[in-house]
Amino acid sequence: MATERPLPNLWHATAPAAPKTGHLTGEITADVAIVGGGFTGLSAALHLAEMGVKAAVIEAYMIGYGGSGRNVGLVNAGMWVKPDDLIATLGVEAGGRLLNELGDGPSLVYDLVARHGMQCEAVRNGTLHMAVGPEGLKEITEREAQWKKRGAPVEALPADKAHALSGAEGFAGALLDRRAGTIQPLAYARGLARAALAAGAEIFTETPLLAAERKGDLWKLTAGRGSLTARHVIVATNAYGALVDNVPWTAQTQELTILPYFQFATNPLPDKIASRILPERQGAWDTGLVMTSFRMDQQNRLIFGSIGRLDAMAAGTHRAFAARSVRKLFPYIGDFRFEYWWDGRIGMTTTNLPVMHVLAPNVVSISGYNGRGIAPGTVFGRALARYVTGDISAIPLTETPITPDPWRNLKSAFYHAGAQAKHLIDRRF
Ligand SMILES: Cc1cc2nc3c(=O)[nH]c(=O)nc-3n(C[C@H](O)[C@H](O)[C@H](O)COP(=O)(O)OP(=O)(O)OC[C@H]3O[C@@H](n4cnc5c(N)ncnc54)[C@H](O)[C@@H]3O)c2cc1C
């Protein structure tokens, strides 16, 4: 498997070292094999190990190689889809359950962080969904009403309060969600891995799944330079999965449209500037059609992100847009430079909701988090652990067949090109 080109990712520079892991050699067995070492696979491994079940993770590259080591670090409650729309798609009962479990998702994340003493810059002061223009204001007002009727502690703020909490110019308001917060995502993934290992799970890195064979009621997975035999398999490869020869169930990746997303991080800003930007350290993103996000890290770096891939053709456009945006949003910022930049793949589904599949006997997956994977990945990982140990109602999703999306590559190319075109002209005036 070819790795993506290495870009200077801030999270790699500031996360505590990964726990020691090696690649798989020889033949080993486990109760549950987990393919993929991101939030989903690692949460599953941790929860299985805590139940006394022998779990082994095989990860093609390194812990947090995929979305889990590249994301913004917004620990959001719920999905990106508005609560009422989610209910309209899934129904009152199934939708209500998913909303409840994902609404409580940040609590699970922050409890795990505290319980296992993870060093991951965890801050739980809420997130700000910044309203762009009257349309954005309408959107956050609807979101507020929909969450409030479900008892969630959200508050739509007028423009002056949004400005005070964000330090940013030009927004019409913001939705403050007090359930949410921020983390250093790679540090959290490594923290989950460390906790899973301590609880007795095994994790093999640089160990790609290469083949799978059914032997009686077991699965023999050829991976790296060895093999792993287990009764159950959890596929947690999400937007970083690819078709593996002779493993038909990896075809699930054919239904995800890849939305590229990049981030640029500044040098540590002087205290007098850093204290004006997001003074309470909420993480923020906006309602714009081509979304942008901004947050601070613990070293007072400002991290700005938006849709797009930092390939050779587009990187200059996105970098210039990021620099213009930072100056427009925070006109008092003074001199800064970008010290880190990186991108990642977000897995989108046609309904904008995650999907659960039973891919083959005893092979289960959940994927397609549509840009919301920290809390959902942790929640779904725990649910998968419970599911494979016999609690078949543990997953707050209904199983569906794989529906490959023939337009996925076209849609992905459209996102990439559309964002590049918008970033070429946006925020120039
Ligand atoms: C740029 C970006 C910003 C984001 N921002 C946020 C945010 O602020 N908040 C939020 O909640 N979510 C965010 N997300 C989404 C979130 O990061 C993902 O939903 C989440 O990381 C998915 O976790 P996962 O464990 O399911 O998959 P991943 O973390 O992608 O892990 C999948 C793993 O599978 C491995 N793999 C693939 N194929 C094989 C194979 N054949 N054999 C073995 N291993 C294999 C990959 O190497 C990878 O490590 C963002 C995503 C991106 C890309």
Write the pLDDT tens digit of every residue in 63-77.
999 999 999 999 999
Which residue puts its alpha carbon closest to atom 17 of ligand 1? 67
Ligand 1 near 67 CB (within 6 A): yes
How many angstroms separate the CA atoms of 321 and 338, rounded? Answer: 12
Q: At what angle do helices 185-199 and 374-388 cross, to 10 degrees?
A: 20
Which residue puts its alpha carbon closest to atom 52 of ligand 1? 71
Ligand 1 near 38 CB (within 6 A): yes
pLDDT tens for each residue of 265-322: 999 999 999 999 999 999 999 999 999 999 999 999 999 999 999 998 999 999 999 9
- Secondary structure E strands in 196-312: 202-204, 209-215, 218-223, 225-235, 257-266, 283-286, 292-296, 302-307
Model-level pTM? 0.97
pLDDT surpasses 70 at 1: no
Confidence class of residue 4 from pLDDT cuts 50, 70 and 90? low
Ligand 1 near 136 CB (within 6 A): no
Pocket test for ligand 1, best of 62, 307, 346, 355 (most atoms within 8 A of CB): 346
Say if CB 402 and CB 250 are below 8 A apart.
Answer: no
Break the chain into its structural domains and give their ranges. Answer: 20-125+180-255+351-398, 127-165+172-178, 257-348+405-429
Q: Which helix (H) or strand (E) holds 108?
A: helix 105-115
pLDDT tens for each residue of 343-397: 999 999 999 999 999 999 999 999 999 999 999 999 999 999 999 999 999 999 9
Q: pLDDT value at position 285?
A: 98
CA 61 / ligand 1 centre spacing (Å) = 12
Q: pLDDT value at position 3?
A: 60
Amino acid at 134: P
Cα dist from 175 to 68, 131, 138, 257, 400, whole Å: 25, 8, 11, 28, 33
Confidence class of residue 427 from pLDDT cuts 50, 70 and 90? confident
For a pLDDT cut of 70, what percent of the chain falls above it? 99
For a pLDDT cut of 90, what percent of the chain falls above it? 93
Rounded to an integer, the average pLDDT of 100-118 is 97
Q: pLDDT value at position 6?
A: 81
Q: pLDDT value at position 429?
A: 72
- Among candidates 80, 59, 55, which has minimal Cα distance to 68? 59
pLDDT surpasses 80 at 421: yes
Rounded to an integer, the average pLDDT of 239-251 is 92
CATH entry, 20-125+180-255+351-398, from 3.40.190.10, 3.40.980.20, 3.50.50.60, 1.20.1440.120: 3.50.50.60
Rounded to an integer, the average pLDDT of 115-125 is 98
Q: pLDDT value at position 5?
A: 65
Among the listed ranges 13-17, 58-62, 408-412, which one has the minimum average pLDDT value?
408-412
Ligand 1 near 129 CB (within 6 A): no
pLDDT surpasses 90 at 252: no
